[in-house]
Chains A and B, each alone.
Chain A
Amino acid sequence: MTWVNAVIQGMLLGGLYALIACGLSLTFGVMRIVNLAHGDLAVCGAYLGLVLSTFFGVPVWFTLPLLLPVAFAVGVVLQVLLYGRALRHGVLAPVPVTFGLSVMIENLLQVAATSDPRGLNGGALALASFHIGSITVSWLFLAAFLTACAVLSGLQLLLSRTLWGRKVRATSDDLDTARLVGIKVRPVFATVAGIAVATAALAGVFIGTIGTFDPLTGTNVLIFAFEAVVIGGIGSLWGTLVGGVIMGVTQVVVGQANQAYAVLAVNLLFLAVLTVRPGGLFTSRQAVREIQGQGAPG
């Protein structure tokens, strides 16, 4: 029964990984930006949640209606001021730019908030749990998992059913032609960047409620998000969820046997997937061709 429990806890943890990763996946899929500051932006979301929930004296959940729009706006501003300009100098330019952003965020957070680990006030939800037979399920982990599912389904629905979604996918397929057929790509990029930071901040709030965070947490968050994206397959949101769940299950099941090897096992799994299926588990061959065959329009 402990193993069944481990699998269930792992799946729930995996939802959180997918929530962190979906913004990374979207940014890479649409703008071809590997955002090395993604994890730090998630941690910024957690700090903002800390400030707001302390200021208003409420559990962090009640600050989300304010926190998420702010995070969205931050994403838009970053796209307009930073990523967009960097992209004009080629696909590799955003890598050092976002790396620099990551270093700056981590150091600014250390100056502003010290290196002390913090936790967020999750209210009654943070401690509540329920039982299925002998298995205890935390409402907080379940909430994180369900939130991840809702966010991913919502994004998937937006992408497949709306005009905005069609523009995003067309831009992701072929930027040059998207411009040519009249798509204004700057608003597309800006909204995608906004959604990426908003989902990262939401994930950050869950990270800060489930565990603790400090200014350097972002690097680990980034690695997990990156691995979930690669395992699941770039450009596939459902793949990202499955990737996150596979990671979560691996981590908790291996941790059940020996806690020292839990994170190592996840990283080894990542390496194995990268070796056997470099495109990820759920990437269409189309997407792999797209990514490999990138070049100047003929």
Chain B
Amino acid sequence: MTPPQALLEVAGLDVFYGDFQALFGVSMSVTPGGATALVGANGAGKTTLLRTIAGAQPAASGFVRYDGSDITAAPPHQRICRGIALVPEGRKLFPSLTVEENIQVGAAAAASDAWPLERIYAAFPVIARRRRQRASTLSGGEQQAVAIARALAAGPSLLLLDEISLGLAPLLVEELYETLSGLRSAGATLVIVEQDLRRAMDACDSLVCLLEGRVALAAPVASVSRDEVVAAYFGEGTP
């Protein structure tokens, strides 16, 4: 039996911010339709890894391969065309644009028109009511929904989500994760950065733990215990 062809494959990534090295030889692969949890302490390199996959951060060495082709040097808009969309940490909406304009901008380089405005509004009724308002006037949960909607508007096959539950009430987080599981059953592949380990392990089928810019653990969720993940998280011993 051959393993399924990886949708996303990252190998030996070194990434720098000036003289500071944030990632050291990071490798991971994501199978189509899968959900990968990316965990690790603050500063472990999770956001950097997602930004490198999305093309916002150049890789000094290593490669990013997506759907069979090498995209290591491709600019972000080409990656979006191919179906990679990122929901950035801290939402990063365009404050002077309305909710609808934010979503329309997200569709500017879309890979497919799988998510027209009507479908987005049907999936997120909460933002449909606010479509004409400036994004900066929305509550945190609504803004997060808009950030996800903006990424969906690009019609992605691979959705990268960076700390979507940060600063939100538990009930809202619950709702967002329900939306994500809906996306998965619709065929999307997810990579989720999440601080809440329990939630990450519930929502995903595989897990990558980063420690100080290196992969400390990469395994299917079913085959690791919470304690093993915690050990990798804090770098206690080598599994």
A residues apposed to B, CB below 8 Å: 163, 166-167, 169-170, 172-174, 176-184, 284, 286-287, 290, 298
Contact = CB atoms under 8 A, between A and B. Distances in A.
A26 B77 CA distance: 24
A166 B109 CA distance: 13
Nearest to A235: B96
6 contacts: A169-B96, A170-B97, A179-B77, A180-B76, A180-B92, A298-B89
B96 A173 contact: yes
A262 to B, nearest CB: 36
B61 interface: no
Contacts of A172: 96
B49 interface: no
Contacts of A290: 95
Contacts of B183: none
Contacts of B101: 166, 169-170
B92 A182 contact: no
Nearest to B151: A181
Which of A169, A170, A180, A184 has the most chain B CB atoms closer than 10 A to its own CB?
Answer: A180
A179 B86 CA distance: 11
Q: Which 5 A-B pairs have the closest CB atoms?
A: A182-B109, A182-B80, A173-B94, A182-B77, A177-B92
B105 A167 contact: yes
B136 A286 contact: yes
B31 to A, nearest CB: 25
Contacts of A179: 56, 75-77
B45 interface: no
Contacts of A184: 75, 77, 109
Contacts of B150: 181
B104 A182 contact: no
Interface in B90-140: 90, 92, 94-97, 101-102, 104-106, 108-110, 136
Nearest to B86: A180
B154 interface: yes
Given A177-B92, A180-B56, A181-B150, A166 B80 contact: no
Given A169-B94, A180-B51, A182-B106, 18 more contacts: A166-B104, A166-B108, A167-B105, A170-B94, A170-B97, A170-B101, A170-B105, A172-B96, A173-B96, A174-B94, A176-B56, A180-B88, A181-B76, A181-B105, A182-B154, A184-B75, A286-B95, A298-B89
